[in-house]
Amino acid sequence: MTLWWIGNALLVVVLVVVIALLSRLLAAVERIRGAADDILTHGVELLGEVEDTPALLVETDATVAQVAVGATRYGGSVATLLPAK
């Protein structure tokens, strides 16, 4: 009979520990779910900003080409000013 009471006490202790661990696990899952929902909401908002990217890339390519032409002209001018080796 004593072993029966010890077994019941151990079972209660194990159940309390399992319930506490499940509670912590569910709290973490809820925090993850909230973060995932937040990411989804802001990701959809950012998707609207990405739609005009091809037009911006064309403008950026034109600017880079202008800078390259200017840098080449500057490099040629500097090369004429430096003494020959």
What tens digit of pLDDT does each residue of 15-44 get? 999 999 999 999 999 999 999 999 999 988
Provide long-range contacts, Cβ within 8 A and 24+ apart, for 23-30: none
DSSP string covering 28-84: HHHHHHHHHHHHHHHHHHHHHHHTTHHHHHHHHHHHHHHHHHHHHHHHHHHHHHSPP
Distance (Å, rounded) from C-alpha 54 to C-alpha 36?
28
pTM: 0.49
Residue 85 DSSP symbol: -
More confident: 12 or 44 = 12
Distance (Å, rounded) from C-alpha 14 to C-alpha 16?
5
Q: What is the pLDDT of residue 6?
A: 92
